Amino acid sequence: MTDQTTTEPTADAVTARTRATIEQFHAAFNQHDVDAVMRLMTDDCVFENTYPPPDGSRSEGQTAVRAFWQELFSGSPQARFETEEIIAAGDRGVLRWTYHWVDQHQQAGHVRGVDIFRVRDNKIAEKFSYVKG
C-alpha cells in the first residue's frame, strides 16, 4: 500500500486563498492604505490601469505600482470601490466593481468595471483593470 498523502493544496484550497487575497486587497484598497495594498502584491507585480484608452498604462514592480496607488489616492481622496461580485478559480480571480468618486466641483460620479487578478503565494502578481464605457 502506498501513501497517497499530498503536500499540494487542493484546487478548492487554492481558489479559497485566491478569493481571500482579493478580498484583503480590496479592503486595504478602499481604506487607501498603500502600505497594506503593497504588502499584498508580489515584488514583480504588474498593474494595468484603465486609462488612457485604448490600452491603459502599465506599471511593473513594487516601486512603480506603489507610485500609481499613491497618486490615485491623493488625487481622489473620496474614491471608493464597491464590490459587485468576486469569482475565483485556482490562482485567477475576477472582481466586478463600481468605482465612485466626487470631482473638484463636488459632483458625484461612478463607472463600472472589472479587475482580473493572478495570485501567487497569497499575493497579487497581476491586476488588469477594464472599464465599461
58 in a domain, yes or no? yes
Whole-number pLDDT of residue 9: 75
94 in a domain, yes or no? yes
Compute the distance between CA of residue 115 and CA of residue 11 in angstroms, rounded to an integer: 21
1 in a domain, yes or no? no
Whole-number pLDDT of residue 46: 98
Whole-number pLDDT of residue 6: 57
6 in a domain, yes or no? no
Quick: pLDDT tens for 68-122. Answer: 999 999 988 888 999 999 999 999 999 999 999 888 888 999 999 999 999 999 9
Domain holding 96, by residue range, is 11-131
Whole-number pLDDT of residue 88: 98
Indicate the number of domains in the chain: 1
Quick: pLDDT tens for 35-57. Answer: 999 999 999 999 999 999 999 99
126 in a domain, yes or no? yes
Nearest Cα neighbor of 71 from 57, 53, 55, 54 is: 57
CATH of the domain at 15: 3.10.450.50
User: Rounded to 5 degrees, what are φ and ψ at 66?
Assistant: -55, -45
Whole-number pLDDT of residue 4: 56
